Structure 1
Amino acid sequence: MSELQLKGKQGKEASYFLGNVTSEQKQQALYKMAAALLSQQEAILKANKLDVEKAVQKGTSKAMLDRLSLNEERIHGMANGLRQVAALSDPVGEVLSMAKRPNGLQIGQQRVPIGVIGIIYEARPNVTCDAAGLCLKAGNAVILRGGSEAFYSNQAIVSVLSQAAASAGLPEHSVQLIEDTSRETALELMKLNEYIDVLIPRGGAGLIEAVVKNATVPVIETGTGNCHIYVDEEYDGDMAANIVINAKTSRPAVCNSAEKLIIHERAAHEFLPIIVQALREKDVEVRGDERALTIVPDLVPAGDEDWKKEYLDFIMAVKIVDDIDEAISHINVHSSHHSEAIVTTNYAHAQRFLQRVNSAAVYVNASTRFTDGEEFGFGAEIGISTQKLHARGPMGLKELTTLKYIIYGDGQIR
């Protein structure tokens, strides 16, 4: 039995126990995990420093270094996320419906844990904490496979979390980390159907494509964020500028940052020069289509490959359109179906955008950066699902459960 098969077997055994622990036990474990993060933050930061130093030597971009880096504030945020998850209602055991059939059978649906969840992710050690907390609260065991760039950070965090969970009476193997970050081990994980019930990739387009292509384990796609902001012909200029700057520059290397700006032609001559200057002051490279270049000639020309690309960097591409329908059509064709926003003072246009844009989260007059489990009231999220089955948008506790039918009878036979 390989190391990965052993972890799978141990995770499966742990999942049988976790599916039947009380809400109070899970809550107590999460509080202990949060406290352990804070008490062991010096060791975690020391491990993270090793990862960051290695990334700097490799020439990693500023934006990606931000994804990788931890500090006391971020560790406190991780601990707070665990506490928030602990305080949420436990979805396990919830009965969604119960109906009586003509034959007297009472048939209902009940939420139950999925079982063992495998997560493959890149560069963000906070995902380790979010994933562990959410999976345990929903009664699942979790097997984590982080990227080599965050190896030491993930190792330290999982050690702290698993020991804290065990001290609260949960199985020793409730949270496991695959320490072999090779491609071969990742491929083996994708085919571990005997032990893993669902696999969730969280990272860039390349990672997600590789998992979808190679996995035999069921997959929920998350993460890729080619997000758009459309500035309508009727708009508030200050609001539009604030939203674009926030969505692009607050954390450009996360999946809910805006990558594309679409502007109605009647707004472009006024708004484009203003927003280009503001973006450049934040060190953003602005690329433009032919129509944008006629208004601001020194933009970097955008090529065909730009419109589907997730930059995860200080880059933004701009397109000028004739009307809202062209904007919606462009978004539906080129978006990764993550998060899109319209800035408008026209109610009818806002409603048209909400109804016709085919993405998981659609905003009116707000930044795409709000597509986040904590911001949505979930405490944290396992990822942002960009597909339609079995979950869509930020995946919280309920999305980490499945349903089973429960049937009450009094001797019925068929």
Structure 2
Amino acid sequence: MIIDDFSASPPPTNPLRRAYAASIQLAKTKGEHRSRTLRSMAEAIRKRQNDILEANTLDLEASRELGVSECVSEWLKLTPERLDTTVQILKRLGELPDPIGRVIGASYQLEQGQTYYQLIPIGVVGLIYEAFPEFGAIAAGLCMKTANSLILLGGSEANYSNQVIADALQSAIEEEGMPIGSLEVFPNEQEAPIQDLVTQDQYINLIIPYGRPHLVHQVVTQSTVPVLRSAMGNCYLYWSATANVDMVRWMIFDSHQSKPDPVNAIEKVLIDPNQKGSSLVRLWNNLREEGFSLKGDELLVKQFPELILAEPSEWSQPYLNKTIAFRGVDSLDEGIAWMNEYSSGHSNCLATESYSESRQFALDVNSALTFINASPRFSRHQNRGDAIFLGMSNQVGYRRGLIGLDSLTTLKYIVQGNPLF
């Protein structure tokens, strides 16, 4: 049964204007209607799984001909398991309580009245992403749950997959009577599609870029729309002299298990000066057995010639593959300072048995997420609570950390007076 009727007036022909018009209508929808739409979106992806996989095969064949990097090819390759995860995420979003309209108490209160905050949608969200065909579906689910309209701009390497997924989702949205324009696909055939999208601040309220650093940097430098910057890779681990090699090995291995994009994978390890050389060799042997490539700074390479020398620029750049670079530092203070300058700033780790080191690290390291004797492994869906995330934000302003439902809402400040007349 359709509760909200948005068919009274024809939608605009421009996709940006359609998305903007839809965002106004979406803000008025009821939570149960959006939840029902999410269930229909999940079912649409499930029903069209074979079509999506066939389209993905075409994308993979084209990408091989174009010489797309191995990293991007892995992100691009869909499997039934990846699509099933997407379906489960959409279903779970449909089960969660409606975040829109939730009331939060305000610290400032009037004597003759009540003040409070209320969660409201952001409006129109633009997602710019490379590869990851299912990523558009997950973003569409998060936006539907938070009553935002979404504009997708995917990479050309995933054109066929992205189009079939978008068609399936748009059909489900239309069948449930949601506003046309709730999900739009921005064409990427024009000369500068990213610039054309990120400068449309009259229609779009937030841009989220997801991909390699150069894509994120391009969006940030060109956008006139507020950007929720995402990041992946270049996460650091400080290996204290008190931590055993088994703990460090587990933290590294587990952090690389996220598929298809190990966002929080440990790629750099800073070594305490008192760490045993035998422990280093043992760890390196274990890593090589698992297919890792190992690099080191100049001093480590002189001591252990089997390591490859890491260039200075590599300490601030992600590898996005099974490569790890090791560097010796003189103290935890130096290690924290190094992380604060060179890491991606979204997830940094400490392996230690010292409480004082734990407290110092937790207070001083400048990262969105801090892990102490714990794996930083990233998961979009942790099968409990409302832990469904799009990615990781490493920026200090706006929303920092995990990009979830809260990141796609904003606050309205409301004053309810009590007039004395």
Do they superpose with TM above 0.5? yes
Distance 1:11 1:102 in 2: 38
In the TM superposition, 1:180-219 aligns within 5 A as 180-182=188-190, 184-219=192-227
Aligned to 1:351: 359
Deviates more, 1:150-159 or 1:172-181: 172-181
Aligned to 1:330: 338
1:269–1:141 Cα change, 3 Å: same
* Offset at residue 307 of structure 1 (A): 0.4
Structure 1 letter corresponding to 2:148: N
1:330–1:37 Cα change, 3 Å: same
Is 2:398 the partner of 1:390?
yes
3-state SS in 2 of match to 1:223 = coil
Distance 2:206 2:238 in 1: 35
In the TM superposition, 1:282-293 aligns within 5 A as 282-293=290-301
Aligned to 1:171: 179
Q: Is the 8 A contact 2:245 2:283 kept in 1?
A: no
Deviates more, 1:226-235 or 1:131-140: 226-235
Distance 1:61 1:99 in 2: 52
1:251–1:169 Cα change, 3 Å: closer
1:282–1:96 Cα change, 3 Å: same
Give the helix-richer structure, 1 or 2. Answer: 1
Is 2:65 the partner of 1:57?
yes
Structure 1 letter corresponding to 2:294: V
Aligned to 2:144: 136
3-state SS in 1 of match to 2:192 = helix
Distance 1:288 1:251 in 2: 26
* Offset at residue 253 of structure 1 (A): 4.7
Aligned to 1:241: 249
Distance 1:13 1:149 in 2: 30
Aligned to 1:82: 90
TM-score by structure 1 length? Answer: 0.93
Distance 2:331 2:13 in 1: 55
Distance 1:241 1:274 in 2: 10
3-state SS in 2 of match to 1:255 = coil
String of CA shifts for 1:192-244, please: whole Å, max 9, x gaps.
Answer: 01100111111111111111111111111112432112211111321211211
Task: Please point out which of 160, 165, 170 is paired with 2:168.
Answer: 160
Percentage identity across aligned positions?
Answer: 34
Distance 2:177 2:387 in 1: 23
* Offset at residue 377 of structure 1 (A): 4.7
Distance 1:378 1:60 in 2: 35
* Offset at residue 140 of structure 1 (A): 0.2
Distance 1:291 1:377 in 2: 47
Distance 2:108 2:346 in 1: 40
Structure 1 letter corresponding to 2:209: P
Structure 1 letter corresponding to 2:142: L
* Offset at residue 161 of structure 1 (A): 0.9
3-state SS in 2 of match to 1:402 = strand
Q: Is the 8 A contact 2:294 2:323 kept in 1?
A: yes
Aligned to 2:32: 24
Structure 1 letter corresponding to 2:144: L
Cα RMSD (Å) of the superposition? 2.2
* Offset at residue 268 of structure 1 (A): 4.7
Q: Is the 8 A contact 1:30 1:133 kept in 2?
A: yes
Deviates more, 1:26-35 or 1:281-290: 281-290
TM-score by structure 2 length? Answer: 0.92
Task: Please point out which of 360, 374, 384 is paired with 1:366.
Answer: 374
Q: Is the 8 A contact 2:231 2:344 kept in 1?
A: no
Aligned to 1:279: 287
Unmatched runs of 5 consecutive residues or more in structure 2 = 1-11
3-state SS in 2 of match to 1:125 = coil
1:182–1:405 Cα change, 3 Å: same
1:393–1:373 Cα change, 3 Å: farther
Aligned to 2:277: 269
String of CA shifts for 1:132-177, please: whole Å, max 9, x gaps.
Answer: 0001100100001011111111111111111112212211221111
Task: Please point out which of 19, 27, 44 is paired with 1:36.
Answer: 44
